[in-house]
A and B are shown apart, each in its own frame.
Chain A
């Protein structure tokens, strides 16, 4: 971090390469567009290095960077206010998936997320698609864990209701536990 603050190019490159996949992946899922996600990711790292001197070294670095990425995406989504198209990486996922209807389900989830409030969407993506625990999300978004749970609860219900309305329920072969 000290080398980055001094403007050491090698250190800056190392930090970018260490977090670029996480940041880009998150931006891609939140924004739904690879090109836009790449632009925002670059902006996120610029902001990271711009405010690196304000970072509290007692805190973990990754949630801080993820928080910046979520804020940038939220700002962009608020400005954009448009429906997110199905992202191209979902096609890659569909090819990799053994299940036939998983890709369609993911696509429907994506459309459902587009209608959510930005903070609900962020929490949903971080938990279900990035696999981050509550504590990490709370740290990144600088909110109490209870708030994160509430947001996620509402986000899940809205997504599931949306999937139900879209007829994504297939009771065939599904047995109650």
Chain B
């Protein structure tokens, strides 16, 4: 018998064997203090009853149930979040793919095709406004020219009025009216003649006699 063999025997004792020690072991124990002490400790260890430190504190099962429910809800939420994120990512990917392949599709409407270089033509409304403005300017110029001609004629016929105005001398109102009427006389006369000529062109009828 040696210490190793004794260890095997000790293990079987600790497993619950109640077989008495054979004489060879007892002889070894008398000579080996290590094995003798281990045998004593082993027997004490075997004599210690199985003890439990009791259960957990009160409300343990409630806490566990609550924790399980919280984790279950969190997992459900996470699953939903992951699913929605995946769906959103898939939609984005589809849109991005469509966008990248847009010009290659010949069936798409012309307006969605890539823009070709166009001449720098202003919009029609702007052109119209520009033409209208140009016509207005031309018309105003013609009117101004007519007015200038009329004014020059008017001023040429009132030479006697100009020195009085320039000299700032007080002029009697009746004289001024007379001067103005004399100054406008060529215009009024020519207008009357033009109107008479126009009336003569009208067809005559019955007792009516044209003329002012």
Known: A106-B48, A171-B40. A46 touches B64 (CB 8 A): yes
Residues A25 and B71 in contact, CB atoms below 8 Å apart: no
Residue of B nearest to A34 (CB): B53
Number of interface residues of A (CB under 8 A): 50
In the bound complex, residues from chain B placing their C-beta under 8 Å from that of A163 are 41
Residues from 66 to 116 in A contacting B, C-beta threshold 8 Å: 87, 89, 92-93, 96, 102, 105-106, 109
Residues B71 and A50 in contact, CB atoms below 8 Å apart: yes
Q: How many A-B residue pairs have CB under 8 A?
A: 117
User: Any chain A CB within 8 A of the CB of B69?
Assistant: yes
In the bound complex, residues from chain B placing their C-beta under 8 Å from that of A24 are 53-56, 60
Residues from 141 to 177 in A contacting B, C-beta threshold 8 Å: 152-153, 156-157, 159-161, 163-164, 168-171, 174, 176-177
Residues A45 and B53 in contact, CB atoms below 8 Å apart: no
Residue of B nearest to A156 (CB): B14
| Whole-angstrom CA separation of A163 from B42 in the bound complex | 10
Residues A131 and B50 in contact, CB atoms below 8 Å apart: yes
Known: A46-B67, A50-B71. A168 touches B41 (CB 8 A): yes
Chain B: number of interface residues, binned into ranges:
35 or more
Residues A157 and B56 in contact, CB atoms below 8 Å apart: no
Residues A20 and B41 in contact, CB atoms below 8 Å apart: no
Question: 0/1 per residue, B1-25, Cβ < 8 Å to A?
Answer: 0000001001100100000110000
Known: A160-B42, A169-B40, A176-B29. A102 touches B48 (CB 8 A): yes
In the bound complex, residues from chain A placing their C-beta under 8 Å from that of B38 are 157, 160-161, 164
Residues A12 and B39 in contact, CB atoms below 8 Å apart: no
User: Any chain A CB within 8 A of the CB of B206?
Assistant: no
In the bound complex, residues from chain B placing their C-beta under 8 Å from that of A21 are 52, 54-56
Residues A17 and B43 in contact, CB atoms below 8 Å apart: no
Residues B20 and A13 in contact, CB atoms below 8 Å apart: no
Question: 0/1 per residue, A20-37, Cβ < 8 Å to B?
Answer: 110011001100001001
Residues B41 and A160 in contact, CB atoms below 8 Å apart: yes
User: Any chain A CB within 8 A of the CB of B169?
Assistant: no
User: Any chain B CB within 8 A of the CB of A57?
Assistant: no
Question: 0/1 per residue, B145-161, Cβ < 8 Å to A?
Answer: 00000000000000000
In the bound complex, residues from chain B placing their C-beta under 8 Å from that of A46 are 64, 67-68, 71
Residue of A nearest to B62 (CB): A13
User: Any chain A CB within 8 A of the CB of B118?
Assistant: no
Interface residues of B (CB under 8 A from A): 7, 10-11, 14, 20-21, 26, 29, 34, 36-45, 48, 50-57, 60-65, 67-69, 71-72
Interface residues of A (CB under 8 A from B): 7, 9, 12-13, 16-17, 20-21, 24-25, 28-29, 34, 37-38, 41-42, 45-46, 49-50, 87, 89, 92-93, 96, 102, 105-106, 109, 128-131, 152-153, 156-157, 159-161, 163-164, 168-171, 174, 176-177
Closest 3 CB pairs of A and B: A89-B53, A131-B50, A21-B55
